[in-house]
């Protein structure tokens, strides 16, 4: 558990309070996957009694013995058995009444999850939570039989620990003084053969690049021919054919000609106009971003160095020495970075920011339902993701029809007409639409255990990303088809 989102993420999860509406099979499946890893507190808001249908599809009800009892109280009681450290609250109030008389109730939570909520109430709830960027994110989940989708409504999400696969720069082309001095101090020509075969490739590249620049007016290899010649010069440094460290250096030679600077994605964040008008109460992320902006304006105009090194062919002493060089320099640069931070910020957060500065992300979300009024995006989705769009349109048609014909069972013809009304004039429903709308018409209110189980894992995973601000959550509609067993994103 801790290895996935570390201590900071676990702390965020343990301090979270999640509201879930209502206590359906899907809702409780989502909560199961939040209670087990230790979410701090959850509230189920549901004023309904347990029906025979609920007792038959919800694993967090005790079959016939739960029928007629409060669905909120029964599900909270049984979910609580999964993890004694988690606090569960059953609220039997009416969603409609709370929205009318006490809207601040919904804004007090860390995050709100709504499954198959009445479309009119869902619209009111999403509008309320969208009205202020300090209000919590809303996760909307819709399912009908074997098809489903979910969407996360949020204003902005700043993610420091994205867990990107992009490695930070090793600064081969801008070697810091201690690294350069070390590389230049080695007498490769007269070195012991065993030691020669264990020089880390980073050191080999720094030395080879410096030798190249000395012979080429201070310029690194630039043309294809020069880059090829540079690689050959690295291999020419071998004294034995089987020196893997020099083979590694040759394969990593591109690092020598790549100019280390500020990645374009991070440079764009540093241009955010809010950095020029920060106040002490501004989010810590933006104060750290402002410090990073100042840091990059100073030579060598790079992001702060991190001490993380990749695996490489080297003996223990050589690798540890290289690690110490990077760690010492990284600490020096982190101290310089901290000098630019103008408000009190926890050291652990600063450390995390510096370590992950090469992969920061700021996501800007959209309001729930915006897709259905955006003809251009819908048209593009029809072309690029017809299967996913077919499911989305079918579920949106079901919601629209529920408002127009409450209590009336939908049919394929009526659902198709509603879906067509969502599209711009002249658009044609995708070939995959009949299958999707057929499933919605067949089981418009069926909350099936297997669909609930899959949604439980998928939604909980994204909720944890949002709460911990780690990893990058899905920023659009995620659709599910358990007839053909696939998921997709619009």
Measured between alpha carbons, how far is 54 from 28 in angstroms, rounded to an integer? 11
* Residues 6 or more apart in contact with residue 451 via CB below 8 angstroms: 26, 143, 145, 146, 147, 148, 480, 482
Mean pLDDT value across residues 160-175: 94
Backbone angles phi, psi at 271, to 5 degrees: -95, 5
Element (H, E) at 147: strand 147-153
CB atoms near residue 90 (< 10 Å): 18
Question: Residue 72 falls within a domain, yes or no?
Answer: yes
pLDDT at residue 8, as a whole number: 83
Q: Are residues 24 and 64 in the same domain?
A: yes
Residues 113, 26: Cα–Cα separation, whole Å:
11
Query: Is 384 within the bounds of a domain?
Result: no
Each residue of 464-476: b (16+ CB within 10 Å) or e? bbbbbbbbebbbb
Residues 150 and 186 in one domain: no
Token code pair at residue 427: 């658009």
Same domain, 327 and 234: yes
Whether 248 and 354 share a structural domain: yes
Tokens of 483: 């007839």
Whether residue 379 is contained in a domain is answered as no
Range 2-7, long-range pairs (CB < 8 A, 24+ positions): 5/161, 5/464, 5/468, 5/470, 5/471, 6/161, 6/470
Average of per-residue pLDDT across 339-345: 97
CATH number at residue 466: 3.40.50.720
Q: Are residues 148 and 245 in the same domain?
A: no
| Across 287-310, average pLDDT | 96
Residues 58 and 147 in one domain: yes
* 211-224 mean pLDDT: 96
Q: Rounded mean pLDDT of 93-117?
A: 98
pLDDT tens per residue, range 128-152: 999 999 999 999 999 999 999 999 9
Would 429 be classed as within a structural domain? Answer: no
Give the separation between CA 89 and CA 76, rounded to whole angstroms.
Answer: 7
pLDDT at residue 177 greater than cutoff 50: yes
Answer whether residue 388 is part of any domain: no
Count of Cβ atoms closer than 10 Å to residue 94 Cβ: 15
Question: What does 291-302 look like in DSSP terms, one character per residue?
Answer: HHHHHHTSTT-S
Rg of the chain in Å (alpha carbons): 28
Q: How far apart are CA 399 and CA 421, in angstroms?
A: 13
Provide the pLDDT for residue 292.
98
What's the confidence (pLDDT) of residue 7? 83
Q: How many helices (H) and strands (E) does the chain have?
A: 22, 10
What is the per-residue pLDDT across 231-248, written as a single tens digit (0 to 9) for each?
Answer: 999 999 999 999 999 999
SS3 489: strand
Work out whether strand 156-159 and strand 361-364 pair parallel, antiparallel, or are unpaired.
antiparallel
- Given a cut of 90, is residue 4 above it in pLDDT? no
- 26, 141 contact by CB (below 8 A): yes
Instruction: Give the pLDDT of residue 39.
Output: 97
Res 1: pLDDT = 42
Averaged pLDDT, 26-47: 98
The confidence score (pLDDT) of residue 22 equals 98
Please count the other Cβ atoms lying within 10 Å of the Cβ belonging to residue 425. 6
Identify whether residues 266 and 356 lie together within a single domain.
Answer: yes
Other CB atoms within 10 A of residue 276 CB = 8
What tokens does 349 get? 């957060």
Sign of CA dihedral 36, 37, 42, 48: negative
Q: Are both 235 and 353 inside the same structural domain?
A: yes
Residue 169 placed within a domain? no
Instruction: Work out the pLDDT band at 5, boundaries 50, 70, 90.
Output: confident
Q: Which residue range forms the structural domain that includes residue 15? A: 2-155+443-489
Domain assignment present for residue 368? The answer is no
- Domain ends where: 336, 362, 388? 362
Q: Determine what percent of the chain is predicted with pLDDT higher than 70.
A: 99
The residue among 362, 382, 407 that closes a domain is 362
Mean pLDDT of the chain: 96
pTM here is 0.91
Q: pLDDT digits over 50-101, tens only?
A: 999 999 999 999 999 999 999 999 999 999 999 999 999 999 999 999 999 9
Tell me, yes or no, whether 189 and 317 share the same domain: yes
CA angle at residue 108 from 107 to 109, to 5 degrees? 95
Q: What's the mean pLDDT in 374-403?
A: 96
Q: How many angstroms separate the CA atoms of 350 and 368, rounded?
A: 33
Same domain, 114 and 228: no
Residue 355 and residue 215 share a domain: yes
Letter string b/e over residues 336-375, b meaning 16 or more CB atoms within 10 A of that residue's CB? ebbebbeeebeeeebebbbbbbbbbbeeebbbbbebbeee
Q: What single-letter DSSP state applies at residue 473? A: -
Residues 40 and 100 in one domain: yes
pLDDT attached to residue 2: 45
- Write down the pLDDT at residue 141: 98
Q: Is 235 exposed, middle or buried (0-12, 13-18, 19+ CB in 10 A)?
A: middle
Name the strand (E) or helix (H) holding 228: helix 224-235
Residue at 81 is within a domain: yes
| Last residue within a domain, chosen from 324, 345, 362 | 362
Structure tokens at 475: 């920023």
Q: How many domains does the chain have?
A: 2
Tokens matching residue 401: 């029809």
């Amino acid at each position: 558990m801790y290895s996935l989102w570390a201590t900071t993420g676990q702390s965020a999860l343990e301090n979270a309070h999640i509201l879930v509406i209502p206590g359906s099979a899907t809702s409780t499946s989502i909560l199961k996957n939040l209670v087990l890893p230790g979410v701090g507190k959850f509230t189920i808001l549901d004023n309904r009694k347990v029906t025979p249908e609920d007792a038959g599809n919800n694993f967090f009800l005790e079959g016939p013995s739960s029928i007629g009892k409060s669905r909120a109280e029964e599900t909270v009681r049984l979910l609580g058995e999964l993890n004694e450290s988690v606090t569960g609250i059953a609220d039997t109030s009416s969603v409609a009444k709370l929205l009318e008389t006490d809207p601040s109730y919904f804004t007090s939570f860390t995050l709100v999850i709504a499954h198959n909520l009445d479309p009119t109430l869902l619209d009111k709830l999403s509008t309320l939570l969208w009205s202020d960027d300090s209000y919590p994110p809303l996760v909307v989940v819709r399912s009908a039989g074997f098809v489903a989708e979910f969407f996360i409504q949020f204003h902005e999400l700043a993610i420091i620990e994205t867990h990107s696969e992009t490695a930070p720069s090793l600064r081969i082309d801008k070697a810091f003084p201690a690294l350069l001095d070390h590389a230049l101090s080695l007498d490769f020509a007269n070195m012991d053969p065993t030691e020669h075969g264990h020089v880390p490739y980073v050191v080999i590249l720094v030395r080879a690049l410096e030798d190249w620049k000395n012979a080429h007016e201070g310029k690194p290899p630039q043309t294809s021919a020069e880059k090829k010649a540079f690689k050959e010069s690295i291999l020419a440094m071998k004294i034995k054919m089987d020196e893997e460290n020099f083979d590694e250096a040759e394969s990593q030679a591109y690092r020598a000609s790549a100019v280390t600077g500020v990645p374009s994605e991070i440079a764009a964040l540093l241009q955010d106009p809010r950095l020029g008008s920060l106040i002490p109460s501004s989010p810590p992320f933006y104060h750290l971003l402002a410090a990073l902006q100042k840091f990059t304006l100073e030579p060598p105009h790079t992001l702060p160095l991190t001490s993380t090194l990749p695996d490489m062919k080297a003996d223990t002493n050589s690798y540890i020495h290289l690690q110490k060089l990077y760690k010492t320099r990284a600490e020096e640069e982190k101290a310089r970075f901290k000098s630019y931070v103008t408000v009190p910020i926890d050291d652990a957060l600063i450390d995390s920011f510096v370590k992950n500065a090469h992969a920061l992300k700021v996501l800007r979300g959209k309001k729930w339902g915006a897709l259905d009024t955006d003809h251009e995006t819908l048209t593009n989705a029809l072309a690029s993701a017809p299967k996913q769009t077919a499911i989305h349109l079918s579920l949106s048609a079901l919601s629209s029809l529920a408002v127009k014909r409450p209590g009336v069972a939908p049919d394929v013809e009526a659902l198709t007409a509603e879906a067509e009304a969502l599209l711009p004039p002249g658009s044609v429903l995708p070939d995959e639409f009949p299958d999707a709308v057929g499933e919605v018409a067949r089981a418009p209110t069926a909350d099936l255990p297997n669909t609930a189980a899959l949604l439980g894992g998928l939604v909980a995973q994204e909720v944890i990303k949002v709460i911990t601000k780690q990893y990058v959550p899905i920023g659009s509609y995620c659709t599910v088809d358990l007839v053909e067993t696939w998921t997709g994103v619009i």
